[in-house]
Amino acid sequence: KAGVTQTPRYLIKTRGQQVTLSCSPISGHRSVSWYQQTPGQGLQFLFEYFSETQRNKGNFPGRFSGRQFSNSRSEMNVSTLELGDSALYLCASSLTGLHEQYFGPGTRLTVT
């Protein structure tokens, strides 16, 4: 069974630009969660989608948004990038949402 894939793996953007990250979950998993990982703040929950609906949301500004497609693939978008958005963005899929999440390798975003 293929694991969770994330594209791209690395990205360099300039302040003010926007970025879209993609996540393909494990086949059969309907829940996709997104996390931001930084050395200072650690792993922080962004949002979770289940069957194309955002089910939970973390404490991030509206510049961070996401969506899920009918095939469970998910994208997250960050608009008006700031230097502080530089981070490893991880997506995780699971059957139910909270239990036994399978993580992708992450997208390393650098904002200059």
Partner 1 sequence: SQQGEEDPQALSIQEGENATMNCSYKTSINNLQWYRQNSGRGLVHLILIRSNEREKHSGRLRVTLDTSKKSSSLLITASRAADTASYFCATDTQGAQKLVFGQGTRLTINP
What mask, x for binding partner 1 by CB under 8 A, covers residues 20 to 39?
-------------x-x----
86: number of CA atoms within 13 Å, CB side?
A: 11
In angstroms, the CA 56 to CA 79 distance is: 20
Q: Which of residues 41-100 bind partner 1 (CB under 8 A)?
A: 42-45, 48, 55-56, 58, 88, 90, 92, 97-100
- Closest by alpha carbon to 8, among 92, 76, 84, 70? 76
H or E element, residue 109: strand 107-111
Q: Check binding of 12 to partner 1 (CB under 8 A).
A: no
CB 46 within 8 A of CB 21: no
First to last CA, the chain: 37
Q: Does residue number 8 form part of the binding site for partner 1 (CB under 8 A)?
A: no
Q: Please identify, using beta-carbon distances, which residue of 84 and 105 lies nearer to partner 1.
A: 105
Name which position in 20, 22, 79, 102 contacts partner 1 (CB under 8 A).
102
Where along the sequence are the contacts to partner 1 (CB under 8 A)? 4, 33, 35, 42-45, 48, 55-56, 58, 88, 90, 92, 97-106, 108
